[in-house]
Structure 1
Amino acid sequence: MVAPPDNDVLWARSAHYSHSGSPALTGVSLGVREAEILAVLGPRGSGKTTLLRCLSGQLVPQQGEVWFNSSPVHTLGRVARERLRLSRFSWIDPEPLLVPELTVRENTALPLLLDGASHREAKHTALQWLERLDLGAYAGKRPHTLLQAQRQRVAVARALAAAPTVLFADEPTAALHGAEGIQLLRTLLAAARSHGITVVLATHDPDVAACADRTVLLRDGRRISSPTGPDTVGDKGRAACSLSV
């Protein structure tokens, strides 16, 4: 094994993965730099979610390598990978997967508690992030009393409260309409930039991808080149999506 470049916080080399014999990734290689916001753009079924799951240690490539901070992830056992995900990574799904029995504050604090934080520290950090995302008034409510967009903002608050090194966002605006999705994306990316969090964002929407620092394209499980080169850079999109948090 050859270690990745020092400035890459995440690195995949020739990653292959199949679901029940159907190829989902075929030889994908990429690097993600520290504090970079990288969009993985492609149509549904292109392998985006599988790639994020391999990079985050949820799946182990059947061939190839995945590295985090110059340490191999693909050689770790299940327990070690779970610990890595809990302590260094956060994840946002297309639908807000909140625990219905817990309040908004408890849902937001949950990753901190699981990682060993005290109840007081976890509660304080959770409330801080809920306030930043205009959810402080809902801290004591259950998820079912909130609107869809509010629940997804809770999922964002939970992911950011854990202070991850890398945040994986799998189609985080897919269930939202128009302005709601753009507002959520602006909030998420602005918070990540201000706190130096690396983001890997999967999306099928070029407008969402344009908000990232750089975009890589997937199609049929393979990384492909765009007409302007292997990656695209979203300078105009970053400006359009900028918002202080």
Structure 2
Amino acid sequence: MTPQSPPSAPPDSDALRARSLSFSYHGSPALTGVSLGVREGEILAVTGPRGSGKSTLLRLLSGQLLPRRGGEVWFNSVPVHTLGPAARERLRRDRFGWVEAEPGLVPELNAWENVALPLMLTGVPRRTAKAAALEWLARLDVADQARKRPHALLRAGRQRVAFARALIGEPSVVFADEPTAALHGADRAHLLRTLTTAARSHGITVVLASHDPDTAALADRTVSLVDGRLSGPVGLPDGATEGRAACSLSV
């Protein structure tokens, strides 16, 4: 039997590239034949109605789920789809950030400890991690809540802590799955500006899933999912990225 050749990395410089991604839940297709690339430092919005496959796509791209046979996910030159569970967990811990509508904070830890947790898991000293956590909490206007546990925080405060936790390690990619769906008005706008401005200032790639057109408008590029399939990319006019990058928020 002829040995199978190892998978070859995509020829371009995309930070993320997906090929023929398909996934089913209990026999019901959630994603079918999706292929796309995300450039390094790009903010990509994935839009579509609820149930269109947005969350499934983000979980496949981040290695939380594995595609059906034949699907591929590449992070730079790393074939994520071939990695074992431990290697994918390290990748998510060291290179990816994740934030979603539910903050998912550790209830036994206070706010700064929740934010500092990703750094401490990689061996950063507690004092150093705490200083970085307090800095991010200050940027998100919740420094005065640093010693409170999640149950003592308002919903918007818990989500700010979750955003700080996703950004503290300056990950290569942040996956944001409907991250402000439960928030309103000023809280939603502030968190999204913080995410997009931090991403552009630190060269972080963002994949943002949202059914809200105002949220998607903050991205550099938009792709739409309908019934688990891409319905086509939506490009930006020349100069749109530069205009958005000029948002004045200190990050």
Question: Shorter-normalised TM-score: what interval?
Answer: over 0.9
Partner of 1:62: 68
Question: How many residues get paired?
Answer: 241
1:231 aligns with 2:218: no
2:20 equivalent in structure 1: 14
Within-5 A mapping of 1:75-224: 75-224=82-231
The CA deviation string for residues 66-109 of structure 1, in whole angstroms up to 9 with x for no partner, is: 00012200000011000100000010011111111111000000
The answer on 1:41 being equivalent to 2:44 is: no
Q: Secondary structure at the match of 1:74?
A: helix
* Residues in 1 aligned to 2:246 and 2:224: alpha-carbon distance in whole angstroms: 20
Question: Could you tell me whether the CA contact under 8 Å between 1:46 and 1:220 is conserved in 2?
Answer: yes
Structure 1 stretch displaced more, 215-224 or 142-151:
142-151
Q: Unaligned 5+ residue runs, structure 2?
A: 1-6
Alignment RMSD (CA, Å): 1.7
Unpaired segments ≥5 residues, structure 1: none
Larger CA Rg, structure 1 vs 2: 2
Evaluate the alpha carbon distance shift between residue 97 and residue 163 of structure 1 in structure 2; reply closer, same or farther with a 3 A threshold. Answer: same
Query: How far apart are residue 231 of structure 1 and its match?
Result: 2.5
**CA shift for structure 1 position 61:** 0.3
Sequence identity of aligned pairs in percent?
Answer: 66
Question: Deviations for 1:198-224, whole angstroms, at most 9, x for unmatched residues?
Answer: 100000011111100000110100001
Change (3 A) 1:62 1:71: same
What residue is the counterpart of 1:53 in the other structure? Answer: 59
SS of 1:193's equivalent in the other structure is helix
Question: What is the DSSP-based 3-state SS (H/G/I as helix, E as strand, rest coil) of the residue aligned with 1:174?
Answer: coil
